[in-house]
Amino acid sequence: MKSYILPEFLIDRDDYRCIRCEVCVRQCAFDAHWYDEEDDEVRVDEDKCAGCLRCVTFCPTNALIVRRNPNQIPENANWTNEVLHNIYKQAETGGVLLTGMGCDKDYPIYWDRIVLDASQVTNPSIDPLREPMELRTYLGAKPDALEIGRKKGKSSVLTKISPQLRLETPIMFSALSYGAISYNVCESLARAASEFGTYYNTGEGGLHRDLYQYGDHTICQVASGRFGVHADYLEAAAALEIKIGQGAKPGIGGHLPGEKVSAEISHTRMIPEGTDALSPAPHHDIYSIEDLAQLIYALKEATHWEKPVSVKIAAVHNSAAIASGMVRAGADIIALDGIRGGTGAAPTMIRDNVGIPIELALASVDTRLREEGIRNRASIVVAGGIRSAADVVKAVALGADAVYIGTAALVALGCHVCQKCYTGKCNWGIATQDPYLTKRLNPEIGTRRLVNLLTGWSHEIMEILGGMGINAIESLRGNRLRLRGVGLSEEELRILGIRHAGA
């Protein structure tokens, strides 16, 4: 069938600069470039270009420009190019549209409509280069009150504090499963988390045996497929996370195609090599809140009550009520994943249309838990579109204890957000299991890049805190007075629990 889909991108090659070194040819797993020996020319097959810019980045002479194909249908606000493209594709294949990464629709990004406060005159801002500035964060249930005994003039804690995760910065690496991403990405995340003093999350891919050494900084997920879940796995973790939902695909399961299930992945996930790894939409042992409570306690029991248990849900309309139930069901950490949360593969329609922005979910959950007086019983971690230190600060001020970063971490590792993760041909060696591609990510470099990112963001958070005259992150957490909205409606302000700038 003749395809009506136009190439998404065009590749311009500056012949003056091109030295025929073929770096682009070798770097493109989609085979968009090829060398024509007969004419000594490098040629392109633009239909195949994913727009990942690997070739552009690696071209030693900057001879390449990848640009959006200017051949567009006449401007139409309703029938956009994207809509047409999708329809052509489905008319040609009869399939469900697949995509990767997070929702790219232009729903309001509330982070960008919230501004931060700073000290002027009446209180001094603090210079983080000269004064201590504390980002340490503990995740886990906190008691309502501390019982303190006194003996011989010394106080000692009588209350048994629930297990806590200690973070040196309120940023963790989101759930990214081995299978969706390569081993080298997992190793980079694990090492960076260990080095910086934070945590990464295994996602539902199990934990490769070589990564057990980073267990102290690993949150092991228990998802609906139960892939790779066994006693040693639970034992290795610093914390466990029951994954109910994911921001990119609330309400649906996951699917790792069999071709990605290599020997190592098969071993790690405990499924036969080459078979599809299908995560059911629900946990088939959780059909109600009390079932969740049972699993939470089962996991706590299995790990001798030594590890906090997190429950992750996609941010949906009644997140606040759900979260309240989760806290009462014994979750130590509530992880909320907003509509912009990423994925290795999701149906486009789901990704782009199901769920709510994380900012609103966070605000309503935090408010609700406070209204119920149970906010201290669980930490809130938010995910789904945290792009910068400013987003982190705003999330913390809205009420989050910490954030998960997924896409941002992958971008630090080279991801160019081309959204072709589901093809398995990630030219940046991230969302792939092809050994030719996975080695493109050297975990030494990956670790360094991630640690640098955390270092940079942490410094920025400290700067912002210092500017507010605050020297400990807990004084920002839930401190919505330091936020103001810009261009937001009354209703949005009310939900966010902040006032409009100027007021």
Burial 201-237 (b: 16+ CB within 10 A, else e): bbbbbbbbeebeebbebbbbbbbbbbbbbeeebbebb
Question: CA angle 443-273-209, nearest 5°?
Answer: 40
| Distance, C-alpha 428 to centroid of its chain | 18
When binding is defined by CB under 8 A, the residue of 49, 180, 237, 476 that contacts another protein is: 476
Asked if residue 415 belongs to a known ligand binding site, the reply is: no
When binding is defined by CB under 8 A, the residue of 72, 80, 93, 123 that contacts another protein is: 123
Burial 81-95 (b: 16+ CB within 10 A, else e): beebbbeebeeeeee
Which of positions 219-238 make contact with another protein (CB under 8 A)?
none
What is the amino acid identity at position 334?
Answer: I
Asked if residue 186 belongs to a known ligand binding site, the reply is: no
Q: Are 496 and 488 in contact (CB under 8 A)?
A: yes
Question: In 3D, which of 272, 255, 251, 254 has the Cα closest to residue 263?
Answer: 272
Q: Using the rule CB under 8 A, is 129 a contact of another protein?
A: no
Q: Crossing angle, helix 183-196 and helix 443-468, to 10 degrees?
A: 40
- Least Å distance, CB 8 to another protein, is 24
Integer Cα distance of 368 and 365 in angstroms: 5
- Least Å distance, CB 385 to another protein, is 24
Asked if residue 21 belongs to a known ligand binding site, the reply is: yes
When binding is defined by CB under 8 A, the residue of 153, 263, 490, 502 that contacts another protein is: 153
Q: Using the rule CB under 8 A, is 39 a contact of another protein?
A: no
Integer Cα distance of 420 and 48 in angstroms: 11
Strands (E), 318-459: 333-337, 346-347, 379-383, 402-405
Q: Using the rule CB under 8 A, is 425 a contact of another protein?
A: no
Q: Are 225 and 278 in contact (CB under 8 A)?
A: yes
When binding is defined by CB under 8 A, the residue of 284, 439, 455, 494 that contacts another protein is: 439
- Least Å distance, CB 347 to another protein, is 31
Token match 């801002």: residue? 125
- The residue range among 91-99, 196-204, 211-219, 467-475 that interacts with another protein, by the rule CB under 8 A, is 467-475
Q: Please count the residues of the chain.
A: 503
Q: Using the rule CB under 8 A, is 16 a contact of another protein?
A: yes
Q: Using the rule CB under 8 A, is 262 a contact of another protein?
A: no
Integer Cα distance of 301 and 278 in angstroms: 27
- Least Å distance, CB 122 to another protein, is 4
Q: Using the rule CB under 8 A, is 436 a contact of another protein?
A: yes
When binding is defined by CB under 8 A, the residue of 43, 105, 136, 494 that contacts another protein is: 136
When binding is defined by CB under 8 A, the residue of 83, 157, 302, 321 that contacts another protein is: 157
According to DSSP H, which parts of 469-503 are helical?
Answer: 490-496
- Least Å distance, CB 435 to another protein, is 4
When binding is defined by CB under 8 A, the residue of 107, 474, 500, 501 that contacts another protein is: 474
Can you say whether residue 497 is alpha, beta or left, with left for phi > 0 and alpha for psi between -120 and 50 degrees?
Answer: left
When binding is defined by CB under 8 A, the residue of 22, 31, 41, 82 that contacts another protein is: 22
Q: Are 449 and 443 in contact (CB under 8 A)?
A: no
- The residue range among 71-79, 129-137, 206-214, 303-311 that interacts with another protein, by the rule CB under 8 A, is 129-137
When binding is defined by CB under 8 A, the residue of 94, 95, 373, 502 that contacts another protein is: 373
Residues 6+ apart with CB under 8 A from 50: 9, 30, 32, 418, 420, 423, 425, 427
Question: In 3D, which of 379, 313, 398, 322 has the Cα closest to residue 110?
Answer: 398
Which of positions 378-417 make contact with another protein (CB under 8 A)?
397
When binding is defined by CB under 8 A, the residue of 7, 475, 500, 501 that contacts another protein is: 475
Q: Using the rule CB under 8 A, is 216 a contact of another protein?
A: no
Integer Cα distance of 408 and 403 in angstroms: 11
Q: Using the rule CB under 8 A, is 452 a contact of another protein?
A: no
When binding is defined by CB under 8 A, the residue of 5, 83, 91, 161 that contacts another protein is: 161
Asked if residue 103 belongs to a known ligand binding site, the reply is: no
Q: Using the rule CB under 8 A, is 119 a contact of another protein?
A: yes
| Distance, C-alpha 3 to centroid of its chain | 35
Q: Using the rule CB under 8 A, is 143 a contact of another protein?
A: yes
Integer Cα distance of 345 and 180 in angstroms: 8
- Least Å distance, CB 164 to another protein, is 6
Q: Using the rule CB under 8 A, is 154 a contact of another protein?
A: yes
Interface residue list for another protein (CB under 8 A) = 16-17, 19-23, 26-27, 58, 60-61, 119, 121-124, 126, 131-132, 134, 136, 138, 142-143, 145-148, 150, 152-157, 159, 161, 164, 370, 373, 375-376, 397, 429, 434-436, 439-442, 444-445, 468-472, 474-482, 499
Residues that constitute the known binding site = 18, 21, 24, 28, 49, 52, 55, 59
Residues that constitute the known binding site for [4Fe-4S] cluster = 18, 21, 24, 28, 49, 52, 55, 59
